[in-house]
Amino acid sequence: MFARYLRDMRLEVFRVALSALRANPLRSLLTLLGIVIGIAAVIAMIALGDGAQKSVRDRIARLGTTTLQIDAQWVRVNGIQTNIRKRVTIDDVNAINDQAAHVLAVNPQQDKDLQVQWNSRNASTKIVGATANFALVQHFQLDRGRLFTNAEDIGRQRVAVLGSGVLTMLGVIDPNAIVGQNIRIGGMQFEVIGILQSKGAGAGFGSADDQVFIPFGTGRYRLFKTDRLDDLFALAESEASLTDAMSEISLALRRSHRLTLDQPDDFRIRNQADLLNTLGEATQVFTSLLAGIAAVSLLVGGIGIMNIMLVSVTERTREIGIRKALGATRRNILLQFLIEAVTLCVIGGAIGVATGVSGAVVLRQQFGWTTVVGINSVVLAFAFAAVVGVVFGVWPARRAARLDPIEALRFE
């Protein structure tokens, strides 16, 4: 019987709290607005941040975490940059192939920006002279056609494989229309034998899709006419052997360059995943900053709730006195005002979550931004809204509960 009485009392307190909110719909709506904006902003900002992290992870998967990039760098002696810059050469390629047991393949490259012409369209893009294993080493996927072979590389054949972005530059609508056709690169005629799948931006600047690949021998002896290598890529056996592969490459290049123990490396070995992880960390910091700014608006909404509840306590002083005179305890009054504050925050949180999710969808569909709405962020935002209601509702509720019933009845 006593348990039923307590349950009925709680239900009565809840009904009274909701009735008080319905009695002032405009004030309740304006109070909700601060919570809605805060929660929606937090959801949208976290969705953008998670989307950026997903984009980085996808980019790592496309580039491959086992691909290493080796290039020359300026030598610093006693902190001073010198004019010594040892280029990576074919001898370095041979040294890595011979001495790096954990390296599966090495792809030397030469590149230069040249004019590409097809029919009446032309564009300036990067022309890359690469060995036949470039797609394996750099994790390119073939979309249609074929890749050039070692025989075509040795024979210095004029064949080309286009990145997907080059098609857009040349105004190609149907990729099949250009496969098997001739294009001109730097004034020299090449046959298009294949098209690569889109890969997106690389670890550095520019897009990996805006490249034209030709056989290394063709570029070296016919188009570029230089022995200088611009880049060197190596494919490690696995992620577990990545450290061993980097150590072996470093040792092989130091021997090839005849560096003594006291001389610094005149080359650098970069891991694609390390570069993109750095980008991911920067993105995470930016996301945290945006979420923090959004959380400030939620804090402002909480202060607004506290302000409204204090006003409500003042306006309803006589009502509180009557309820106390009729037997309502401090706990009943405290619970009533807490329920009002939490109800406002929970309703505002629900509307805010819906608004934030909708905003993330609009950003993805209308602006092409990558957004990911996770259940964790929704639960966190909703729980945060309830906590805001409790935290900012405690003071007004305690003030109402501590009113003296006699003084409250005298209040006009």
| Interval 50-64: pLDDT, tens | 777 777 666 666 666
| 248 contacts 269 by C-beta, under 8 angstroms | no
User: Is the pLDDT score of 2 beyond 50?
Assistant: no
Among 73-87, 231-245, 278-292, the range with the most confident prediction by mean pLDDT is: 231-245
At 126, which helix (H) or strand (E)? strand 121-130
Q: Residue 203 — very low, low, confident or very high, per pLDDT cuts 50/70/90?
A: very low
Taking Cα atoms as reference points, which of 295, 393, 304, 357 lies closest to residue 48? Answer: 357
Q: Which residue has the higher pLDDT, 104 or 300?
A: 104
Q: Residue 178 — very low, low, confident or very high, per pLDDT cuts 50/70/90?
A: very high
| 127 contacts 111 by C-beta, under 8 angstroms | yes
User: Is the pLDDT score of 157 beyond 80?
Assistant: yes
Q: Residue 190 — very low, low, confident or very high, per pLDDT cuts 50/70/90?
A: very high
The reported pLDDT for the residue numbered 11 is 61
Q: Where are the domains of the chain?
A: 2-60+277-410, 74-102+240-265, 107-236
- Give CA–CA dist 307/310, Å, rounded: 5
Can you tell me the mean pLDDT for 310-328? 68
Taking Cα atoms as reference points, which of 6, 24, 34, 5 lies closest to residue 302? Answer: 34
Q: Which of 117-121, 281-285, 375-379 has the lowest mean pLDDT?
A: 281-285
The set of residues, in sequence order, having a beta carbon less than 8 Å from that of 305 and lying 6+ positions away, is: 31, 34, 35, 341, 344, 345, 388, 389, 392, 393
The reported pLDDT for the residue numbered 154 is 94
- Give CA–CA dist 331/400, Å, rounded: 10
User: Is the pLDDT score of 262 beyond 80?
Assistant: yes
The reported pLDDT for the residue numbered 1 is 45
